[in-house]
Amino acid sequence: MPGGWKFAAASVIGTSHQKSAEGVCQDSHAVKFLDHASAFLGVVSDGAGSASHAQIGSRLTCDFIVRAAEACDPARLFTESFARDTVEKLRGVLFEEADSQGLTIRDFACTMLVAIVSDERVSFWQVGDGAICVREAGSDQYRCVYWPEKGDYANVTFFITDVRAQEETQVSIRKAQIEEVAILSDGIERLALDFAAREAHTAFFGGLFPHMLHLAEGNSPELGKQIEGFLVSERVNKRTDDDKTLILASRAHQ
């Protein structure tokens, strides 16, 4: 049973990538309810536009983290050592993939955002930009767990393939009762975040999560299609031409 969680997600190709015949969506995502730990898991990975095999890197990242979480002892799932060990093993998988194709690990460059949420504990990991935004029980405000990490230059961020990936991995583990979680790639940062105030746009998320109130527990393909429709809409594409990913997860009730 999904423990009261309702969730849905979509990744869509950006209009800039559609202009080329070989254009592909370099974003990937994964959503899962971990029965053995009674926890929701959401993962988003955004492949670097400058990396030749970024879409493979982002897909491998999401799939590996799901497998690692499914195999993890619940007692260890909410620990920093599990997060950092998983990052190190993931890098090993990306190195092996690069070697098998005669490429470098940089060819698979991608960001990583992970949210693991149980009834009373949370674990958030992030490398690079994009955002994890949450609303806690008893609050009507949404907050950004980590402000998107940017590099020294505009439109540059950190990647799981970087030499300093371990140092650049942000990990936060604490006790909290989270009612709603949104995970998004940098393609919709400008819609979801207030960069002047450096905080989440509560109005943006407040317009999305009410659609989940009457859903059945578990993954909702119907809402996933609605999220996809929103991400490819003209009003969103007017604001961004990048690939876009959005995960919504809620256990809120009326």
Q: Tell whether the model's pLDDT for residue 98 goes beyond 70.
A: yes
Number of folded domains that form the chain: 1
CA distances to 23, 48, 60, 69, 204 from 169, in Å: 29, 17, 17, 17, 27
Question: What average pLDDT does this structure show over 148-163?
Answer: 74
Q: Tell whether the model's pLDDT for residue 4 goes beyond 80.
A: yes
Give the percent of the chain with pLDDT over 90.
Answer: 84
CATH classification of the domain holding 110: 3.60.40.10
Residue 187, domain member (yes or no): yes
pLDDT band at 178 (very low <50, low <70, confident <90, very high): very high
Helices (H) and strands (E) in the chain, counts: 9, 13
Q: Tell whether the model's pLDDT for residue 151 goes beyond 70.
A: no
Question: What average pLDDT does this structure show over 92-117?
Answer: 97
CA distance 54 to 105: 10
The whole-model pTM stands at 0.95
Strands 199-200 and 193-194: antiparallel
Identify which of 81, 91, 76, 10 has the alpha carbon closest to the alpha carbon of residue 44.
10
pLDDT at 1: 64
pLDDT at 150: 65
CA distance 82 to 225: 33
Residue 52, domain member (yes or no): yes
Residue 1, domain member (yes or no): no
Question: What average pLDDT does this structure show over 9-24?
Answer: 81
Extract long-range pairs of 84-87: CB within 8 Å, 24+ residues apart: 84/166, 84/169, 84/171, 87/112, 87/125, 87/127, 87/160, 87/165, 87/166, 87/169
Residue 51, domain member (yes or no): yes
Question: What average pLDDT does this structure show over 12-41?
Answer: 88
CA distance 85 to 68: 10
Q: Which distant-in-sequence residues (6+ apart) come within 8 Å of 235 by Cβ?
A: none
- Per-residue buried b or exposed e for 16-35, using 16+ beta carbons within 10 Å of the residue's own CB: ebeeeeeeebbbbbbbbbbe
CA distance 147 to 98: 30
Question: What average pLDDT does this structure show over 5-19?
Answer: 89
Residue 242, domain member (yes or no): yes
Instruction: Choose the weakest-confidence range: 49-53, 106-110, 221-225.
Output: 49-53
Domain limits for position 218:
6-250
CA distances to 56, 166, 200 from 135, in Å: 32, 28, 10
Give the chain's mean pLDDT: 93
Question: What average pLDDT does this structure show over 56-61?
Answer: 98
Q: Tell whether the model's pLDDT for residue 47 goes beyond 90.
A: yes
Looking at residue 243, the DSSP 8-state letter turns out to be: -
Residue 36, domain member (yes or no): yes
Q: Tell whether the model's pLDDT for residue 137 goes beyond 70.
A: yes
Residue 225, domain member (yes or no): yes
Question: What average pLDDT does this structure show over 142-147?
Answer: 96
Residue 70, domain member (yes or no): yes
Q: Tell whether the model's pLDDT for residue 153 goes beyond 50.
A: no
